[in-house]
Amino acid sequence: MSGAARGAPHPAAGEGGPPLIGITTYQEPARWGAWVREAALLPVPYARSVERAGGVPVLLPPPATLRGLDTLVSRLDGVVLAGGGDLDPELYGAVRHPETGPPQPQRDRFELALARAVVDADLPFLAICRGMQVLNVARGGALVQHLPEAVGHKGHAPEVGLVGSHRVRTSEGSLIGGILGASSDVPTYHHQAVSRLGKGLTAVAWAEDQVVEAVELQGHRFGLAVQWHPEEGDDRRLFEAFVVEAAGR
């Protein structure tokens, strides 16, 4: 992993205290103790990455309704759209590929609405993996449903259940280029990616096979989405830049 900022927690909080960072969650069957029930889940590295950058993580499970969404957004200082399962391809006008995962309508509905509300509020956000795909679809874009078929290799998710690594290059003058430099090795685990970019989104990072690995929302205060999993690495620069911006709200 290239770069600095891998030590003590970053002092991102301003006079008003540390920023509240909402993080979307999975909604999956889970087992604990004697129980097997549907649960709101989030891999711990997301919350730890926010904490280490100086923020306070707040979990955002998919609600039964969208009532109060604007109130929720108004009380947060930033949002992380987390990774997870595949979006329903009907949401971007595509026929389901055999390798596309089962639909999760409640999560899809909430996260698409949340992404639009965050954009409308000019709230800082960091979208990760599925989160980048949610953002793209929310802005009218479309997705590649199964990358191995499109690019001819499995380098973006080399082993089932294990995070891999590959290099990305960034666009000179972009937000992410200013944070990471011209290139960086990143943790990767995904089989889908952006195809048609949504409105206002600009591609700013690419893998060696030209798969889009990051996009930025033009004109937004801090609107960054990455296809990789920065929470799984030891390079904290993306989370630190995001939380610093959220702290200034």
Render pLDDT for 110-169 as a digit per residue (tens, 0 to 9): 999 999 999 999 999 999 999 999 999 999 999 999 999 999 999 999 999 999 999 999
Percent of the chain past pLDDT 90, that is, above it, reads: 93
> Average of pLDDT values for 213-222?
98
Active-site annotation holder among 213, 231, 232, 240: 231
Active-site annotation holder among 111, 129, 213, 232: 129
Taking the model in full, what pTM does it have? Answer: 0.92
Distance CA 63, CA 67 (A): 9
Q: What angle do CA 139, 54, 121 make, to 5 degrees?
A: 30
Q: Is 229 a catalytic residue?
A: yes
Listed in sequence order, the residues at least 6 apart from 115 whose beta carbon sits closer than 8 Å to its beta carbon are 81, 125, 127, 134, 135, 138
**Cβ pair 107, 84 in contact under 8 A:** yes
Q: Label residue 228 left, alpha or beta by phi (over 0 means left) and psi (-120 to 50 means alpha).
A: beta
Residue 214 CB-density burial (10 A; 0-12 exposed, 13-18 middle, 19+ buried)? buried
Structural domains of the chain sorted by starting position, each given as residue range(s) with its CATH number in brackets? 20-29+38-247 (3.40.50.880)
pLDDT digits (tens, 9 = 90+) for 88-116: 999 999 999 999 999 999 999 999 999 99
Active-site annotation holder among 216, 229, 240, 245: 229
Q: Is 231 a catalytic residue?
A: yes
